[in-house]
Structures are given as C-alpha cells and as structure tokens.
C-alpha cells in the first residue's frame, strides 16, 4: 500500500488483525493488536470477536475477559457474536456466574438470543452441573421451537447422570426420540449410568438392549456401570457375565473398572466371592494376587472389606 502512496487506516488494521487471527497466525494478530492500542487505532467489533476467539482457543479465559473490558473502554459495543464467544469461553472455564452475567447483558442490551447462544448456555450449565439453569434453558428452547441436536441432548443427559436426576433424564430421553433425534452411544451410556447408579436393573438392561438394536456396542464406561448395578442387586453371576464381555469386545479393564469390582466384593456374600476373585485376577494379575490373599485370610463370618 505505501508503494502506491496509500496509508493503512483503521479499517485496514482491523481487517489485518482479523485475517491473521482467522488464518491461525496468533502471534502476528496479537502483535498488531498491541500496535493498535499504542497507536490508538479504532478497531471494530469483528476484530475484537477474533481476538476473544484466539484467547478462547488457547484456553486463556482471563485474556478473553481482558479484551472484552478493553473493547468496552474504547467505546466499541459488543454484538451477539462476541457475547456468544464469551458464553462458550466462560462455559469451558466452568465459570457459570460469568455466563449468567453475559446472558443478562444480552437481554439488557436488547439483543435476541440465537440457537448458538442457547447451545453455549446449555453446555456451560451442563459442565458446571447447574441443573435448574440447564433445565430452564432446555424448556425455553423447546418453547421457542429451537430443536436440540444430539450433542446438546447428550450434554444435558450427562449432567442428569452426574446429579442423579432420573425422572428428568427419562423425560428428556423420550423427548429426544420423539423429536426424531437418534440416540448415539454416548446417549445410551448416560442413560445406563443413571439407571445403574440408582440400582434400577431392569431399566438399565432394557436400555442396553435398545442400544444393541440401534447398532452400538457397550464401552468400558457402560460395562463398569452395569457391574455396579448388578453388584448392588447381588446378581453376581450377571457381574461375571458382564465382566466377560470385556474380552469378547476386546476391551482392556482399567483401574476404575477394577475398583468397581472391588467395591462389589465388599457387598458380596462369602460363598460367591471366589467368582469375583477370578475376575480380578484376570483383569489385573498383581491386584488379583493381593485380593486372593486377603480373601483367604479374612474371618469366615465376615464380608470382604
């Protein structure tokens, strides 16, 4: 531009920062931004949205907030795109209180939340286990006719699994299917985990069968949940059967899986402990050796603990 007698103006610098940011040249984008601040260039909202996105991708969530504050100090009014990026960033940072603040700012500034806004809110509240807020956003989306996709359904179902909201999970799962959204393996995993933690064996088994019918195979998380469920119900033969599925599906038992087996042993009558000892020995020979010694040395009238 200088070779043609043209001097870059504020629009040029804004465009260059945005271009470098979108192209992945973060260092150059931030360098130009520093020059912009010292040179008192006037940057637009698009440029600030790019800068906030750069910090979000880098996991520098305080950097996102700093750019936002600098933008306001320069008199640039945030638009919905900027708020959506901030909502996603604060959700990833697990800062639901800041998510609430930015959502209120959207409403106060007369902006209309979009599908992206609601999706960011649902993800944020789901990650933070803010059940009431997540359910509120879920209902609001349904009332406005904003259909959820499988990722959003999985997010809220995973939250239900962590919080133990069985009835809510069943309601949402049925709504998902009636809306024409096909559950995937993560959906079934959450539902089986929910039923297993509550000891609802038949519901967990029915969901597992539904999963098979949909063409999915259980993973290590599902098998761990099922073992926990059968253990609570004192169905030790089913625990062993579920354990054997690991090897049928070529799944290597991990530490959490072995820990679940040990937990089941603490609830198992002495006469059936040998079945579980064999499972532990097969899953982890070193651990199995120790467990076998403990079982042999325990009082004949007590349970394994």
Taking only the tens place, the pLDDT of each residue in 233-282 is 999 999 999 999 988 888 888 999 999 999 999 988 888 889 999 999 99
Closest CA to 287 of 278, 300, 298: 278
Give the pLDDT band (50/70/90) at residue 15.
confident
Phi, psi of 91 (to 5 degrees): -65, -45
Closest CA to 162 of 130, 209, 135: 130
- Residue 282 three-state SS: helix
Dihedral angle computed from the Cα positions of residues 121, 127, 129 and 133, in that order, rounded to the nearest 10 degrees: 0
Summarised one tens digit per residue, pLDDT across range 83-93 is 999 999 999 99
- d(CA 209, CA 261) in angstroms, rounded, equals 23
Summarised one tens digit per residue, pLDDT across range 193-237 is 999 988 899 999 999 999 999 999 999 999 999 999 999 999 999
pTM of the predicted structure, to 2 decimals: 0.82
Total residues found in the chain within this entry: 305
pLDDT of residue 305: 58
Instruction: Please state which CATH class domain 1-77 belongs to.
Output: mainly alpha
Structure tokens at 211: 């999963």
CATH 1.25.40 residue window(s) in the chain: 1-77
Mean pLDDT, residues 167-171 taken together: 95
């Amino acid at each position: 531009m200088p070779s043609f007698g043209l001097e870059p103006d504020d629009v040029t610098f804004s465009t260059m920062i945005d271009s470098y940011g979108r192209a992945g040249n973060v260092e150059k984008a931030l360098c130009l931004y520093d020059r912009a601040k010292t040179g008192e260039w006037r940057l637009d909202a698009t440029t600030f949205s790019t800068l906030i996105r750069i910090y979000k991708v880098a996991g520098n969530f305080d950097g996102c907030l700093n750019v936002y504050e600098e933008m306001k100090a320069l008199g640039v009014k945030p638009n919905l795109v900027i708020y959506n990026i901030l909502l996603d960033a604060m959700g990833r940072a697990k800062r639901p209180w800041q998510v609430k603040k930015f959502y209120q700012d959207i409403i106060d500034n007369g902006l209309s939340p979009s599908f992206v806004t609601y999706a960011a809110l649902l993800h944020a509240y789901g990650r933070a286990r803010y059940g009431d807020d997540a359910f509120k956003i879920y209902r609001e989306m349904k009332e406005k006719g904003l259909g959820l996709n499988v990722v959003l359904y999985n997010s809220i179902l995973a939250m239900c699994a962590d919080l133990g909201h069985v009835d809510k999970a069943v309601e949402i799962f049925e709504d998902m299917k009636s809306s024409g959204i096909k559950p995937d393996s993560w959906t079934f995993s959450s539902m089986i985990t929910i039923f297993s933690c509550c000891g609802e064996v038949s519901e967990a088994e029915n969901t597992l069968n539904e999963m098979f019918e949909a063409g999915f195979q259980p993973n290590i998380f599902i098998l761990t949940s099922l073992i926990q469920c059968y253990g609570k119900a004192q169905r030790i033969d089913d625990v062993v059967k579920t354990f054997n599925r690991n090897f049928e599906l070529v799944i290597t038992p991990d530490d959490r899986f072995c820990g679940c087996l040990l937990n089941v042993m603490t609830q198992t009558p002495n006469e059936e402990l040998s079945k579980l000892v064999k499972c532990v020995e097969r899953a982890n020979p070193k651990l199995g050796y120790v467990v076998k010694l403990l079982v042999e040395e325990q009082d004949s009238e007590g349970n394994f603990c």
